[in-house]
Structure 1
Amino acid sequence: MSAKRRHDDNEADGAVSSNKKQKRQEAATSNMKQKKRQVAATSNMKQKKRQAAASSDMKQKKRHVAATSNMKQKKRQVAATSNMKQKKRHVAATSNMKQKTRHVAALILARGGSKGIPLKNIKPLAGVPLIGWALRAAVDSEVFDSVWVSTDHAEIKKVAEAWGAQVHQRSPEVSRDSTSSLETIQEFLEYHNEVDIVCNIQATSPCLHPFDVREALKKITEDGYDSVFSVVRRHQFRWKEVDELSDEKTKALNLDPANRPRRQDWPGELCENGSFYFTTKDLIKTGQLQGGKSIYYEMLPEFSVDIDGDIDWPVAEQRVLRYGYPGKVVRLLFCNVSACLAEGINALSSNTRNTSAIHMLQEKQVEVMLLTSRNNTVAQSLADKLKKRTGCEVREVGKKPLNDLLEVMKKRSLDWKDVAFMGFDQADEKLLKLAGLSAVPGDAPELASKAAKYICHLSRGSGAVWDFAEHILLHKPMAKP
């Protein structure tokens, strides 16, 4: 091979070698770039992860801060709520303290003079003195610090005291026909400055119940009113009164005659029913019974009976027997056998009507205890016969049986309001006054009759026990104080 050819071959080999070298360099450069990109990508990935982690930490920290903030806020809310409750309890305690220190008195005005019916306020209505119905509701409401009757008459005084009231002897100046209720109440407050709230209860409202009195008083003691008075809803269309001799025409006062509503579509009007008027002493001093911050208390129509003018006496008796408040439910009846029966113990053991009355009471879970005198030898000899026939416990008592009865009541955990007593004569006077419900036969002496809370229509030996038992049972389901 010639030198030239070898030279050419060498150059060709050199070129090939140079190309290969260049390709290797390019490949190396490419690999280097790829590695750099991978490194950069890896670096970016790590950076993103670090950023993500940092962001996650930041979010977590924010959530933690938010949670902490919420927790603090909740704690503040709880603390605020606690403080609010504490303040309310403090206000309520303060209110209760003020309420406890305010003397609330019930006051019934009962003058002796009556143009219509003499001594109407103590005339028996369904066996109970008229004033007794209102006094019973006032006493049993248990919201009054004192219960008073303002009167100028000795007989009314005796009846009021028998029904648990204190008596204010009113002066002649406020006992005239022209004297207003406001003047009489103002005089009462002059003598009884400890009273802060007066509830003037009308003696002529025999269907008043303790529940209404309690609810009305809350409007003053809890809601802050100065005066509260009782009303009833009436559905009566009123017309203007005109002189028949004039040319004036009457016109409707509370309806449109052209669009006369049905009763059920008309709410009616609120009218005073006269049952009671609650007023603060401060308002009375200004010469008002209704005023200041004033509100009414609505009573049901059946309990809004006014003896002054609504109905006559026989009709009133029927209403009272149905809707009047009879007192708390009797759980035990003490019956003085010898006093209540003209023929004594023999009459009770042999008279079917009397024994039936006792059995009726027993069936209604009213225990009956028959009282006999230790000095009555005949009664003692028949005690076993009486116990067998009536199923009652027969108990001997002395001339002053109060201690004997108190012992019985203590064993049964009873109060006088849970007890009825039936007596007859002067020896029974104290027990007749103490018992929540008491009665005497129709022929009982005057002194005992005035002390009793119910006077039977029948006399001794003629069914007086039956009469009183019926009176107890007639009202027993209604007693809702």
Structure 2
Amino acid sequence: MAATVETIAIIPARGGSKGVPGKNVARVGGIPLIARAVRAALSSGVIDLVVVSTDDAVIASAARTAGARVVERPAEISGDTASSESALLHALDTLAADGIAPRVTAFLQATSPFIPSDALRDAVAAVRDGRADSAFSARESYEFVWRRDADGAAAAIAHDAAHRPRRQDRDPHFVETGAFYVFTTAGFRAARHRFFGRTEIVEVPEATAIEIDDPGQLRAAQALAPLVDPPEPLAARVVVTDFDGVHTDDTAWLDAAGTEHVRVSRSDGMGVALLRRAGVPVLILSTEQNAVVRARAEKLQVEVIHGVDDKASVLRQWAADRGVDLAETAYLGNDVNDLAAMALVGWPVAVADARPDVLAAARVVLARDGGDGAVRELADRVLAAR
């Protein structure tokens, strides 16, 4: 194996985050942060092996599912004060014991949710080709930076406060994003630090330069994901949907007898029919215990489970009974009672007019509202990916 592994990526990801509990498996764009980092490394096309160093079983499971090898990190280098360098050196020593000796190492941080694979590729190329001993991701900045001096007064950093040139007349500075660092393995072992020798800046877009250290930054990343993440084929093999707010516009008419009536989309009905013809199982899973839910499911000729309080438990049992892989399942929801079920599947999907928490949890946000073609849009995208 040593002869075929020239470049590796190591992602340190310990458990026990205090600022954001479970941070490294928190979902952005419907994907755990650790899985996003693994995917970014693999998508670069220049990483031969992705390794996750962790002390946490949940992180380890998510990393393996995403395609990484896991190195168990000892407790003595898993605490709040442990450096990333110590985790990298331990992972390299573990690999060396298995005969894996990479020439180039990329250090990625899962707390950077939008790691640009093309920029990572450029950094690896710079180190591989000998143009740099180390390289790192940074964003361009024309900001005026200040500090407080010993007396608490403002003091300019790297600029003359009395001279305020126009942006176009200034040279940019570059700010580390923390997304990735790439270096020669031998140089890193000798320096025991990520910066040494000739260091090169690899510029990344400012829109991707977010690092998650607190709940506000996590929410910002979740809101940004639909705008930053590139479109991808919706490769689900099973479709599960809520009913109200998905097949309907989340309103109902009530007649004098107290019977509810809802409006549904014939286009959505055709989408379900196309899924059935293609052999894609479809389930309607609804909190509401209502005859209209069952009547619509019977009309569409799909399974229905309604009157459900705990959608996640029911979905997990339904999948186990039918041998369904939830990682290959799409769940289409609109409201907060869908969140637990969405967290179980590989493809959490939200209608366009879903609640903010649902939009933040979704891997895919559709263009159509509930009851107005959202189910058809989902069906079309699932079928297009087959």
Could you tell me which residue of structure 2 aligns to residue 151 of structure 1?
A: 54
1:100 positional shift = 7.7
1:252–1:163 Cα change, 3 Å? same
Deviates more, 1:313-322 or 1:274-283: 313-322
Q: Which amino acid aligns with 1:273?
A: T
TM-superposed deviation, 1:313: 3.0
Q: How does 1:235-314 map to 2 (within 5 A)?
A: 235-244=142-151, 250-286=154-190, 287-308=192-213, 312-314=217-219
Unaligned runs of 5+ in 2: 249-261, 284-295, 303-313, 369-380, 382-386
Is the strand fraction higher in 1 or 2? 2
| 1:138 is the counterpart of 2:41 | yes
Q: Indicate the residue corresponding to 1:9 in structure 2.
A: none
User: Are 1:215 and 2:125 matched, yes or no?
Assistant: no
Matched letter for residue 199 of structure 1 = A
Are 1:332 and 1:369, in contact at CA under 8 Å, matched by a contact in 2?
Answer: no
1:167 aligns with 2:70: yes
Structure 1 gaps, min length 5: 1-98, 374-381, 388-393, 395-422, 477-481
Per-residue deviation, 1:112: 0.6
Distance in structure 1 (CA, Å) of the matches to 2:201 and 2:65: 32
Q: Relative CO higher for 1 or 2, CA cutoff 8 Å, sep ≥ 6?
A: 2
Residue type at the aligned position of 2:45:
E
Deviations 1:398-429 (A, max 9, x none): xxxxxxxxxxxxxxxxxxxxxxxxx9435388
Provide the identity percentage. 27
Structure 1 residues 332, 174: closer, same or farther in 2, change over 3 A? closer
Which residue of the partner structure matches residue 68 of structure 1?
A: none
By how many angstroms is 1:242 displaced?
Answer: 1.6
Report how far residue 185 of structure 1 moved. 0.3
- CA shift at 1:228, angstroms? 1.3
CA distance in 1, matches of 2:35, 2:209: 17
- 1:316 equivalent in alignment to 2:228: no
Distance in 2 between residues matched to 1:283 and 1:357, nearest whole Å: 61
Q: How does 1:99-118 map onto structure 2 within 5 Å?
A: 101-118=4-21
Aligned to 2:27: 124
* Structure-2-length-normalised TM-score: 0.67
TM-score, length-normalised on structure 1?
Answer: 0.55
Alignment check: 8 A CA contact 1:112 1:151 kept: yes
2:123 maps to amino acid: A
- Cα deviation, residue 184, structure 1: 0.6
Aligned pairs, number: 313
C-alpha separation in 1, matches of 2:266 and 2:27: 24
- In 2, the alpha carbon distance for the partners of 1:304 and 1:253 equals 22
> 1:178 aligns to what SS in structure 2?
coil
Cα RMSD after superposing both structures:
4.3
In structure 2, distance between residues paired with 1:303 and 1:140: 16
* Residue matched to 1:57: none
Select between 199-208 and 139-148 the one with higher mean Cα deviation. Answer: 139-148
CA contact (8 A) 1:333 1:368 kept: no
The structure having more radius of gyration, on CA atoms, is 1
Q: Do the aligned residues in 2 keep the contact of 1:129 with 1:453 (CA within 8 Å)? A: no
Structure 2 residue aligned with 1:330, among 213, 219, 233? 233
SS at match of 1:192: helix
Instruction: Summarize the Cα distance change of 1:473–1:208 in structure 2 as closer, same or farther, 3 Å threshold.
Output: farther
Higher helix share: 1
Match of 2:51, SS? strand
Superposed CA deviations along residues 81-101 of structure 1, whole A, max 9, x for unmatched, are: xxxxxxxxxxxxxxxxxx984
Check conservation: 1:335, 1:368, Cα contact below 8 A.
no
Q: Indicate if the aligned counterparts of 1:126 and 1:321 stay in contact, CA closer than 8 A.
A: yes
SS across alignment from 2:137: strand
Residues 234 and 269 of structure 1 are in contact (CA less than 8 Å); yes or no, is this contact kept in structure 2? yes
Q: Secondary structure at the match of 2:118?
A: helix
CA displacement at 1:144 relative to structure 2? 1.5
